[in-house]
A and B are shown apart, each in its own frame.
Chain A
Amino acid sequence: MAAQQFRRVGVLLHQSLLYPRLTCRENMEFYSELFAIPDAGAHARRWLERVGLQRAADELVSALSRGMEQRLGIARAMLADPDLILLDEPFAAMDADGVALVSSLVREALAREAAVIFTAHAPLEIAGVDLRMFKLESNGLTPFKDEGRRGSLRNLLRRN
């Protein structure tokens, strides 16, 4: 029913949605199982390697640094290869490697034709990606740069 729709959506919120008293591996395995991914253990290991957390795999999430937790949170959001990815501040608390990692993950997602929508504090660029930027105001979204590409979030979604 309705819950099945969430198989195709990946979300990163302000909160990490990770269990602080489970290890990184256990968190990823748990969410892989929830998304009914076959061989959850191997899948979790692959993702931990992908976000560079293989050495911290057996650390409790509560022991992670903010940046590591953010990496794991993004891995959690993307682990089911969703078609729509919503990321709230994916670059927050990230070092240079982290920014590069998130950028490459976004590129990969776009390459398999997923839609990615994210928020950020400051305007930024991801190499090789044509970003459509909007300013979030109390009365809705306005295009960040007035370069003739007017549109709303709905148009953006339709185009993808």
Chain B
Amino acid sequence: MLEGFGPILRKDLRLEVRTGESTVVLVSISVLILVVMVLAFGPAGARRAEVAAGALWTALIFAGTMGATRALLSERESGCLRGLLLSPVEPATIYAAKLSVAMIFMAQAGIAVLVVLVLFFNLDFGGALLRLLPVFLLGIVGLAALCTLLATVSGRVRAGAMLLPVMVVPLFAPALIAGSKASAAVLAGQPLGAVITWLKLLGAFDVLFVTAGYLLFEHVIFED
């Protein structure tokens, strides 16, 4: 069913290793967003776990929309998207592959942000950082699923790339609430058990949007 998934993923990662463009751009943008947030709110104070969580998720949203756009952009050069669509690979498989690429891009940006968070906020994260991992992973699955589905609009609509965050942010709002609340709680030292409701919510969001994207992708990928 997923025939062609591996080659597409390998090809995209090879392209990325060769140029490094997406990694550099995404990591620097997310770290910059983090810096902006820290400068605006101040690193100290009782609410630093919340500020840190908010900064993390703000950075992730923008890294997500850009990462998904980048993952599809490589196919826009020389009409390669048509080459993919004219091959025996199912559109849903293309979706799965692009979703994975977007997730890898976002994970890179997220890890960079986490490293900087530890430094900037001088928090004794340690175990907290480990507990943040499931929240983080559940968050980027849903975000990548949503962004990959909607990123097909860029290149089709004038200013499509700018329109993408406008569409993604309201749709992602519930996961954003769940993700940032759970991250803040975990960073403040609470155990994972205390945020299990948020994790379930993130899980439900992921299942819903991965399924929706998988089923709906073929309707948005074809051009006229």
Interface residue B11 (Cβ < 8 Å from any Cβ of A)? yes
B-side binding surface: helix, strand, loop or mixed? helix
Encode contact with A along B62-87: 1 for CB under 8 Å, 0 otherwise. 00000000000010011110111111
- Contact call A34/B80, Cβ cutoff below 8 A: no
Interface residue A118 (Cβ < 8 Å from any Cβ of B)? no
Nearest CB of chain A from residue B209's CB, rounded to whole Å: 23
Encode contact with A along B14-42: 1 for CB under 8 Å, 0 otherwise. 11001100000000000000000000000
Q: Determine which of A11, A20, A76 lies in contact with B77 in the assembled complex, contact meaning CB atoms within 8 Å.
A: A20
Nearest CB of chain B from residue A88's CB, rounded to whole Å: 11
Given contacts A13-B79, A15-B78, A15-B79, contact A21 B89 (CB under 8 A): no
Interface residue A30 (Cβ < 8 Å from any Cβ of B)? yes
- Contact call B88/A20, Cβ cutoff below 8 A: no
Chain B interface size band reads 20 to 34
- Contact call A34/B87, Cβ cutoff below 8 A: yes
Closest to A29 in B: B7
In the complex, what residues of B have CB within 8 A of residue A5's CB? 88
11 contacts between A and B (CB under 8 A): A3-B87, A3-B89, A15-B78, A15-B79, A15-B82, A17-B79, A17-B83, A19-B78, A21-B18, A34-B88, A36-B88
